[in-house]
C-alpha cells in the first residue's frame, strides 16, 4: 500500500510499476470482501479503470444472488475513488455503465486536478489500517458525535446507517444469533466455508485462522464462526462487551446498483470508524436468510438491510492477505464510454 500520496503531482497516472494509478489500485484491493473472496478484476486503459465482477468467486450457498459480491465490489470502488481524490485528482464514477456487459460494474476515470479535501486524505490514509476485528471490545461507549460521523458517512454515499438503541440492538442481535445458529447445521454452508478458511502461508485469499477471533460463550455478540469447519482451530471462549454498539446499513432499493452504493457506503463508514479510532466487525449472517432479512427491514421508509455492523474500542487486529495486483489486472480491449 502506498502512503506516499504527495508524490502524485509528479507521478504519471499509469498502472505501471511507479504509476499513481497502480498505487490507487493497491488501495482498491485492500477493501473488505465477503469471506475475503476478493471477487474483483480491473481493466485499465488510459486514465480509466474498469472494475469487473469475478463471478467464479461468488459464494453460491451464502450469496446466490451475488448481493454480497456487489457489496465487496462497491467497497473496492470506494477505495479507488478515495485514493484518487487523496492524490489530487477528481474520480469520475459511472456505475454499471454497459447494460450489455453485466460483469462490468463500474468505470472510474481520473478526472481534473484538485486540491485533496481533508476528509479524502484521512479516509485514504485509513485504508491500510482498517481490518475486520473479531476480538472483544471494551465497555467504553462510543460517543454520540462519533456515531453521528458514521451515519453521515453512509448518507454521503446514498445509504442510511441506523445505530440501534438498546431495545432494537437486542432484537437485531437475536436475529443475527438465529441466523448464525441455523448456518451451523447446514452442510452445504460448511463445505463452502471450508473452501475459504484453509489458511496457510501460500494462501492470499479467504479468512485465515488468525483472524477467527475468540468465542463469546454467551453469544451476546454472535460473530460468524469461521472455525466451525476447523476443529483444530476452535475458537477459545472469552468475555465480550455486554452492551455492544450495533448499527444496520440500509439502502432504499435492492438492485445491483443499490448493492454497489451499499458497498461504497459500507467502506466509507468503516474507514470513518478507523479514522475515529474505532474497531469494527461486519455481521451479515441475517441478511443471507431471506425471512430473517425481512425482520430487519425498515418498513416505514421502505429500506432494505444490507449489513449489520458492530463498533467499539478493540485491541489490535492483523491484516488478512490479498492477492497480488498483477493477478487481478486483466488485459482486454477497452469498452466504449
Ligand X SMILES: Cc1cc2nc3c(=O)[nH]c(=O)nc-3n(C[C@H](O)[C@H](O)[C@H](O)COP(=O)(O)O)c2cc1C
Q: Does 179 bind ligand X (CB under 6 A)?
A: no
Q: Tell me how far, at minimum, the Cβ of 148 lies from ligand X, in Å.
A: 24
Non-local (6+) Cβ contacts of 293 within 8 A are: 286, 287, 304, 305
Footprint of ligand X on 82-121 (CB under 6 A):
none
Footprint of ligand X on 6-45 (CB under 6 A):
32-36
Each residue 265-284 as x (binds ligand X by CB under 6 A) or -, in order, gives ----------------xxxx
Q: Choose, by CB under 6 A, the member of 8, 21, 25, 71 that binds ligand X.
A: 71
Which residue's entry shows cell 486483466?
330
In what helix (H) or strand (E) does residue 238 lie, and over which residues does it extend? none
Q: Tell me how far, at minimum, the Cβ of 41 lies from ligand X, in Å.
A: 17
Q: Tell me how far, at minimum, the Cβ of 48 lies from ligand X, in Å.
A: 24
Q: Is 5 exposed, middle or buried (0-12, 13-18, 19+ CB in 10 A)?
A: buried
Q: Tell me how far, at minimum, the Cβ of 270 lies from ligand X, in Å.
A: 8
Q: Tell me how far, at minimum, the Cβ of 167 lies from ligand X, in Å.
A: 23
Q: Tell me how far, at minimum, the Cβ of 134 lies from ligand X, in Å.
A: 6
Residue closer to ligand X (CB basis): 8 or 75: 75
Which residue's entry shows cell 488468525?
210
Q: Choose, by CB under 6 A, the member of 26, 50, 68, 254 that binds ligand X.
A: 68
Residue closer to ligand X (CB basis): 8 or 305: 305
Query: How much is the CA Rg of the chain, to the nearest whole Å?
Result: 19
Residue closer to ligand X (CB basis): 104 or 207: 207
Q: Which strands form 89-95's sheet, in the order they lie side by side?
A: 40-45, 48-53, 104-113, 89-95
The interface region with ligand X, picked from 64-72, 137-145, 154-162, 271-279 by CB under 6 A, is 64-72
Q: Is 170 exposed, middle or buried (0-12, 13-18, 19+ CB in 10 A)?
A: middle
Residue closer to ligand X (CB basis): 85 or 223: 223
Torsion of CA 150, 156, 160, 163, to 10 degrees: 10
Each residue 185-214 as x (binds ligand X by CB under 6 A) or -, in order, gives ----------------------x-------
Residues in the chain: 337
Footprint of ligand X on 213-232 (CB under 6 A):
223-224
Which residue's entry shows cell 510499476?
17
Rounded to whole angstroms, the Cα distance separating 223 from 253 reads 27
Q: With CA atoms as reference, report the closest residue to 22 among 8, 40, 6.
A: 8
Q: Tell me how far, at minimum, the Cβ of 153 lies from ligand X, in Å.
A: 16
Residue number of the CB atom closest to ligand X: 32
Give yes or no for a contact between 79 and 40, defined as CB atoms under 8 angstroms apart.
no
110 DSSP β-pair partners: 91
Q: Tell me how far, at minimum, the Cβ of 223 lies from ligand X, in Å.
A: 6
Query: How many residues touch ligand X (CB under 6 A)?
Result: 21
**DSSP, residue by residue, 208-220:** -GGGS--B-TT-S
Q: With CA atoms as reference, report the closest residue to 251 among 283, 298, 311.
A: 298
Q: Tell me how far, at minimum, the Cβ of 209 lies from ligand X, in Å.
A: 12
Rounded to whole angstroms, the Cα distance separating 256 from 37 reads 18
Residues that bind ligand X (CB under 6 A): 32-36, 68, 71-72, 75, 131-132, 134, 207, 223-224, 281-285, 320
Amino acid at each position: 500500500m502506498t502512503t506516499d500520496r504527495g508524490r502524485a503531482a509528479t507521478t504519471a497516472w499509469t498502472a505501471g510499476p511507479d504509476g499513481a494509478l497502480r498505487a490507487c489500485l493497491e488501495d482498491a484491493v485492500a477493501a473488505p470482501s465477503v469471506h475475503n473472496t476478493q471477487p474483483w478484476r480491473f481493466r485499465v486503459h488510459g486514465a480509466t479503470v474498469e472494475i469487473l465482477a469475478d463471478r467464479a468467486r461468488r459464494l453460491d450457498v451464502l450469496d446466490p444472488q451475488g448481493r454480497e459480491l456487489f457489496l465487496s465490489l462497491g467497497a473496492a470502488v470506494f477505495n479507488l475513488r478515495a485514493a484518487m481524490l487523496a492524490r489530487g485528482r477528481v474520480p469520475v464514477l459511472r456505475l454499471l455503465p454497459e447494460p450489455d456487459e453485466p460483469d462490468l460494474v463500474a468505470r472510474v476515470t481520473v478526472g481534473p486536478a484538485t486540491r485533496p479535501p481533508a476528509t479524502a486524505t484521512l479516509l485514504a490514509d485509513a485504508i491500510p489500517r482498517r481490518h475486520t476485528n473479531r476480538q472483544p471490545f471494551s465497555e467504553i461507549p462510543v460517543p454520540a458525535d462519533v456515531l453521528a460521523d458514521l451515519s453521515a458517512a453512509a448518507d454521503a454515499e446514498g445509504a442510511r446507517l441506523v445505530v440501534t438503541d438498546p431495545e432494537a440492538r437486542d432484537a437485531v442481535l437475536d436475529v443475527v444469533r438465529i441466523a448464525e445458529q441455523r448456518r451451523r447445521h447446514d452442510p452445504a454452508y460448511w463445505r463452502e466455508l471450508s473452501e475459504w478458511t484453509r489458511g496457510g502461508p501460500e494462501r492470499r485469499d479467504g479468512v485465515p485462522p488468525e483472524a477467527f477471533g475468540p468465542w463469546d460463550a454467551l453469544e451476546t455478540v454472535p460473530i460468524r464462526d469461521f472455525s466451525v469447519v476447523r476443529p483444530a482451530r476452535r475458537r477459545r471462549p472469552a468475555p465480550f462487551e455486554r452492551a455492544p454498539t450495533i448499527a444496520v446499513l440500509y439502502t432504499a432499493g435492492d438492485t445491483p446498483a443499490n448493492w454497489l452504493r451499499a458497498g461504497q457506503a459500507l467502506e466509507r463508514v468503516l474507514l470513518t470508524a478507523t479514522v475515529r479510532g474505532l474497531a469494527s466487525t461486519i455481521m451479515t449472517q441475517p441478511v443471507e436468510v431471506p425471512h430473517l432479512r425481512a425482520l430487519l427491514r425498515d418498513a416505514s421508509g421502505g429500506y432494505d438491510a444490507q449489513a449489520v455492523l458492530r463498533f467499539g474500542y478493540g485491541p489490535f487486529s492483523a491484516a488478512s492477505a490479498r492477492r497480488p495486483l498483477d493477478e487481478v489486472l486483466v488485459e482486454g480491449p477497452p469498452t466504449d464510454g
